[in-house]
């Protein structure tokens, strides 16, 4: 399984701060997220892709966007708002 | 040309009197510098004598308005405050929203240039009618916060909108703010400059209207922008405020803690200081600046909290009690202290004390309220702490400069440069010192395909320049940066907005040249005031101490990025604008060495 941690607006929209989804590609994970957390659709996740309003970082480090990227079992994905400014 | 009045107000203070004079500006100046921080940078260059002491009477304080100010366009009720910073000795430009901005533009001028000084604390009233401008001595107002002063003035029917300083400005604390109807022009110490002029408050009265060239188009665009400002791109600001960054940044391990010694406070503490935790410590209310349809102003127990304040008065000084954080933020507001510099200075002082370099009874995690009060009144150790990190390190010595976290004397904002290496370059080269607002290069690090742990000498300079130029555009128009996610093509839209408002057509490329010209004038100002390449660096801590995850910042890589940045900007090695850049941006027409215009004759 892959753990997805949610912060900022994604957490607010989802009403959850952490969920587990089956490992797969980034696209399959986003599809799974959209079905279990419908509040993320369409502004955060749309058609298996992240919108411009959110970013996802593998273990909080590398920000990834390629939908075909394989995400292995045990990985933690961190889903955040794209607007970082303060 | 509409949207502007084509003139500025020169304000000369002496004794307990004021004299004012309208000075015409050529239309070309608006074309070259747009307004806001751009126009203000030009005026600062023009009116500041080279090498002036920032706290001397002859040092100008510039309030610069913008062409969009006064229109129905969302987030435009802002103005820029510029001076030579008493903290850095370099250019300082702050933005502030407020109804004061709207009222001040109705004086019928596009900027105020305030010079001279009063003999004693006074209230400066500026009027559309020059003969009605006056100074009223106000010794009884000494020590009042800007908020107390506004309340009192409203009750007595003296004025409705005010730009004022708190006790810190009066005491010329080098990081004192100017408060404008409750919003602060924060970084760099403009409050100390107004304090040195012994001006406690500025009120304004006027009814002039600059108008717009195409009112129907402006109305349509205003509705469209307001609709976009209510969309997903700005939801974080509306729903949570920038305080939501803290928990995210802790997870990304870019949240500076204990004077930049580490990058995380742990999940439990981060949740305590996050918006939900703050709401448990004080009732949550959302507000907005004048004329804003976003509304990112989140208050807890009456105290406005945004990320930089939360970081600087929380993790940076190792405070994890939301009630303490709110109390410290409220005190900075009331005293008129820049929260980032106050937190940064205290964090440095705490580390010096813990290392035994000074005998101050101050430790990480302490309640800083008494220290903030001592700083604002220059009492005891507060007198030295009022000088900011760089000057304190120079006094303490003993190697403390290594962990004195500033660039050009300005304390660092809340992003860890070892883990954001494009932003590290942005910090080094920013004209006003360690700064997140005049470039926003942190955005470049937080995107797919960028390795934020690597100094990318080939690509980082262009990313920083693009971020700086984008910020110069928004800060000159002036539009709030939190609107940027809702503006897909800022150059095209900026050109359209200017054309609608002023009636003067602008092209995107032409506007980009203005942004580059603004950057060039700011840099030229710094060069004139003594800038050297040696200033464009981070403290040794960031190079010599790796983070727990091994992240470090290579000194040679950063130096190479800085060199590449200046080359890409068109600066001569270790100097100002090159001949080519001067020609390309027609800088010689603006960067003249002519002496500043004389003051109004009526003061003799
Ligand atoms: S978004 Fe926030 S800072 Fe910007 S104008 Fe609106 S309330 Fe003010």
Q: Which string of DSSP letters, residue by residue, matches B216-255?
A: HHHHHHHHHHHHHHTSGGGHIIIII-GGGHHHHHHHHT--
> Does A86 map to a domain?
no
Q: What integer pLDDT is reported at residue B594 of this predicted model?
A: 54
Do the chains contact at B443 and A51, CB–CB below 8 Å? no
Q: What region, left, alpha or beta, does residue B108 occupy, with left being phi > 0 and alpha being psi -120 to 50 degrees?
A: left
Count CB atoms within 10 A of the CB of residue A68: 8
Q: What integer pLDDT is reported at residue B32 of this predicted model?
A: 97
> Does A57 map to a domain?
yes
- Which one, of B199, B196, B140, lies nearest residue B164 by Cα? B199
Task: Give how far B254 is from chain A: nearest CA, Å.
Answer: 10
Do the chains contact at B236 and A81, CB–CB below 8 Å? yes
What is the Cα–Cα distance from B249 to B269, expressed in whole angstroms?
13
Whether B96 has a pLDDT exceeding 50, the answer reads yes
pLDDT in tens, B100-154: 999 999 999 999 999 999 999 999 999 999 999 999 999 999 999 999 999 999 8
Task: Give how far B12 is from chain A: nearest CA, Å.
Answer: 36
Structural tokens at position B511 = 């506007």
**Mean pLDDT (chain B, rounded):** 95
**What is the β-pairing status of strands B303-304 and B297-300?**
antiparallel
Q: What integer pLDDT is reported at residue B538 of this predicted model?
A: 98
Q: What integer pLDDT is reported at residue B160 of this predicted model?
A: 87
Structural tokens at position A50 = 């992240």
What is the Cα–Cα distance from A76 to A29, expressed in whole angstroms?
12
Measured by CA distance, the residue closest to atom 4 of ligand 1 is B480
Residue A50's domain comprises 2-81
What is the Cα–Cα distance from B346 to B363, expressed in whole angstroms?
9
Residue B480 beta carbon below 6 angstroms from any ligand 1 atom: yes
> Does A13 map to a domain?
yes
Torsion of CA B324, B327, B328, B329, to 10 degrees: 120
How many residues are there in chain B?
604
Of the residues B295, B306, B308, B477, which should be mutated to test ligand 1's pocket, given the most ligand atoms within 8 Å of the CB? B295
Q: What integer pLDDT is reported at residue B593 of this predicted model?
A: 60
Task: Give how far A1 is from chain B: nearest CA, Å.
Answer: 20
Q: Could you tell me the CATH number of the domain that includes residue A11?
A: 3.10.20.30
Q: What single string gives the DSSP state of each residue in A44-84?
A: TEETTEE-TTEEEEETTTEEE--TT-EE-TT-EEEEEES--
Residue B9: DSSP 8-state = E
pLDDT band per the 50, 70, 90 thresholds, residue B343: very high
Structural tokens at position B187 = 């970084």
Of chain B, the percentage scoring pLDDT greater than 70 comes to 98
Chain B residues close to A65, C-beta within 8 Å: 448-449
What is the Cα–Cα distance from B131 to B111, expressed in whole angstroms?
18
Query: How many helices (H) and strands (E) would you count in chain A?
Result: 2, 9
Separation of B295 CA from ligand 1 center, angstroms? 5
| Helix, coil or strand: residue B432 | coil
What is the Cα–Cα distance from B245 to B455, expressed in whole angstroms?
24
Q: Is B248 on the interface with A (CB under 8 A)?
A: yes
- Which one, of B114, B95, B104, B102, lies nearest residue B36 by Cα? B95
Whether B323 has a pLDDT exceeding 80, the answer reads yes
Q: Is B550 on the interface with A (CB under 8 A)?
A: no
Residue B88: DSSP 8-state = T
**Could you tell me if B190 and B83 are in contact, meaning their C-beta atoms sit under 8 angstroms apart?**
yes
Q: What integer pLDDT is reported at residue B604 of this predicted model?
A: 39
Q: How far is CA A85 from the centre of its chain?
A: 20
What is the Cα–Cα distance from B560 to B555, expressed in whole angstroms?
9
Measured by CA distance, the residue closest to atom 8 of ligand 1 is B289
Mean pLDDT lowest among B151-165, B166-180, B198-212:
B151-165
pLDDT band per the 50, 70, 90 thresholds, residue A48: confident
Do the chains contact at B233 and A84, CB–CB below 8 Å? no
| Residue of B233, B248, B446 lying closest to A63 (CB–CB) | B446
Q: Phi/psi at B336 (nearest 5 deg)?
A: 85, 50
Mutation for testing the A interface, residue in B251, B304, B421, B467 having most A CBs under 10 Å = B251
Mutation for testing the A interface, residue in B230, B232, B263 having most A CBs under 10 Å = B232
- ipTM greater than cut 0.90: yes
Residue B75 beta carbon below 6 angstroms from any ligand 1 atom: yes
What is the Cα–Cα distance from B278 to B72, expressed in whole angstroms?
33
Of chain B, the percentage scoring pLDDT greater than 90 comes to 93
Nearest CA in chain A to B251: A60
What is the Cα–Cα distance from B492 to B338, expressed in whole angstroms?
34
The mean per-residue pLDDT over the stretch A63-78 comes to 97
Task: Give how far B327 is from chain A: nearest CA, Å.
Answer: 20
pLDDT in tens, B283-310: 999 999 999 999 999 999 999 999 999 9
Cis peptide before A42 (omega within 30 of 0): yes
Separation of B285 CA from ligand 1 center, angstroms? 15
**What is the β-pairing status of strands B410-411 and B406-407?**
antiparallel
Structural tokens at position A57 = 């970082």
The mean per-residue pLDDT over the stretch B159-163 comes to 91
Separation of B341 CA from ligand 1 center, angstroms? 22
- State how far the alpha carbon of B190 is from the alpha carbons of B93, B144, B240, B439, B440, in Å: 8, 18, 30, 20, 22
pLDDT band per the 50, 70, 90 thresholds, residue B521: very high
The mean per-residue pLDDT over the stretch B235-242 comes to 95
Whether B597 has a pLDDT exceeding 60, the answer reads no
Structural tokens at position B141 = 């107002």
Q: Which residues contact B227 (CB under 8 A, 6 or more apart)?
A: none
Q: What integer pLDDT is reported at residue B204 of this predicted model?
A: 97
**Could you tell me if B555 and B543 are in contact, meaning their C-beta atoms sit under 8 angstroms apart?**
yes
Whether B276 has a pLDDT exceeding 50, the answer reads yes
pLDDT in tens, B57-76: 999 999 999 999 999 999 99
Chain B residues close to A66, C-beta within 8 Å: 448
Q: What integer pLDDT is reported at residue B601 of this predicted model?
A: 52
| Helix pair angle (B421-429, B555-569), 10° resolution | 60
Q: What angle do CA B583, B517, B80 make, to 5 degrees?
A: 155
The mean per-residue pLDDT over the stretch A40-53 comes to 94
Chain B residues close to A81, C-beta within 8 Å: 235-236, 244, 248
Q: Is B187 exposed, middle or buried (0-12, 13-18, 19+ CB in 10 A)?
A: buried
Do the chains contact at A60 and B252, CB–CB below 8 Å? yes
Hey, what domains does chain B have and what are their CATH numbers? 7-205 (3.60.9.10), 234-411 (1.10.569.10), 419-589 (1.10.599.10)
| Residue of A8, A44, A52 lying closest to B248 (CB–CB) | A8
Q: Is A76 on the interface with B (CB under 8 A)?
A: no
Q: Is A81 on the interface with B (CB under 8 A)?
A: yes
The mean per-residue pLDDT over the stretch B517-545 comes to 97
| Residue of B235, B253, B440 lying closest to A60 (CB–CB) | B253
Q: State the total domains in chain A.
A: 1
């Amino acid at each position: 399984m892959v753990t997805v941690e949610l912060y900022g607006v994604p957490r607010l929209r989802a009403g959850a701060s952490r969920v587990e989804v089956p490992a797969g590609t980034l696209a399959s994970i986003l599809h799974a997220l959209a079905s279990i957390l419908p509040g993320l659709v369409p502004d955060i996740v749309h058609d298996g892709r992240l919108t411009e309003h959110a970013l996802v970082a593998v273990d909080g480090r590398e920000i990834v966007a390629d939908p075909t990227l394989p995400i292995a079992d045990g990985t933690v994905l961190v889903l955040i708002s794209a607007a970082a400014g303060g | 040309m509409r949207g502007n009045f084509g003139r500025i107000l020169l304000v000369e203070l002496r004794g307990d009197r004021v004299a004012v004079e309208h000075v015409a500006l050529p239309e070309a100046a608006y074309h070259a510098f747009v307004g806001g921080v751009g126009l203000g940078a030009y005026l600062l260059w023009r009116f500041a004598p080279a090498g002036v002491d920032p706290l001397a009477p002859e040092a100008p304080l510039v309030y610069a308005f913008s062409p969009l100010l006064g229109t129905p366009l969302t987030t435009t009720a802002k103005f820029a405050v510029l001076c030579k910073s008493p903290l850095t000795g370099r250019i300082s430009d702050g933005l502030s929203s407020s109804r004061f901005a709207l009222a001040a533009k109705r004086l019928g001028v596009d900027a105020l240039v305030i010079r001279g000084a009063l003999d004693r604390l006074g209230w400066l009233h500026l009027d559309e009618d020059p003969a009605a401008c006056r100074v009223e001595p106000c010794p009884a107002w000494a020590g009042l916060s800007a908020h107390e002063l506004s309340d009192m003035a409203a009750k007595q029917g003296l004025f409705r909108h005010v730009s004022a300083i708190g006790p810190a400005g009066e005491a010329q604390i080098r990081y004192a703010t100017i408060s404008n109807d409750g919003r602060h022009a924060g970084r760099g110490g403009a409050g100390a400059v107004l304090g040195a002029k012994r001006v406690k408050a500025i009120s304004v009265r006027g009814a002039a209207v600059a108008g717009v060239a195409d009112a129907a188009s402006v109305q349509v665009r205003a509705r469209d922008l307001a609709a976009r400002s209510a969309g997903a791109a700005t939801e974080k600001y509306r729903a949570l405020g920038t305080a939501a960054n803290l928990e995210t940044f802790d997870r990304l391990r870019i949240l500076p803690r204990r004077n930049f010694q580490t990058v995380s406070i742990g999940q439990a503490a981060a949740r305590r200081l996050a918006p939900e935790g703050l709401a448990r410590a004080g009732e949550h209310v959302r507000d907005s600046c004048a004329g804003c349809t976003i509304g990112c102003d989140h208050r807890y127990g009456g105290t406005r909290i945004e990320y930089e304040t939360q970081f600087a008065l929380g993790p940076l000084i190792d405070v994890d009690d939301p009630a303490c954080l709110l109390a410290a933020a409220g005190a900075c507001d009331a005293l008129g202290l820049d929260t980032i510099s106050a937190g940064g200075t205290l964090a440095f002082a705490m580390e010096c004390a813990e290392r035994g370099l000074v005998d101050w009874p101050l430790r990480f995690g302490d309640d800083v309220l008494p220290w903030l009060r001592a700083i604002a009144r220059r009492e005891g150790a507060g007198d030295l702490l009022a000088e900011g990190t760089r000057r304190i390190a120079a006094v303490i010595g003993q190697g403390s400069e290594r962990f004195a976290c500033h660039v050009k004397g300005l304390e660092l904002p809340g992003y860890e440069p070892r883990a954001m290496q494009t932003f590290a370059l942005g910090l080094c080269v920013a004209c006003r010192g360690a700064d997140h607002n005049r470039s926003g290069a942190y955005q470049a690090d937080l995107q797919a395909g960028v390795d934020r742990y690597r100094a990318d000498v080939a690509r980082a300079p262009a990313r920083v320049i693009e971020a700086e130029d984008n910020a110069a555009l928004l800060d000159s128009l002036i539009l709030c940066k939190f609107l940027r996610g809702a503006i897909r093509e800022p150059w095209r839209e900026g050109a359209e907005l200017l054309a609608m408002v002023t009636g003067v057509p602008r092209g995107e490329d032409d506007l980009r040249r203005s942004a580059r010209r603004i950057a060039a004038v700011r840099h030229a100002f710094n060069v004139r005031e003594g800038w050297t390449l040696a200033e464009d660096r981070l403290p040794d801590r960031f190079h010599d101490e790796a983070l727990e995850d091994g992240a470090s910042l290579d000194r040679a890589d950063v130096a190479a990025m800085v060199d590449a940045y200046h080359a890409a900007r068109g600066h001569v090695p270790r100097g100002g604008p090159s001949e080519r850049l001067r020609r390309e941006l027609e800088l010689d027409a603006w960067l003249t060495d002519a002496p500043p215009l004389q003051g109004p004759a009526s003061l003799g």
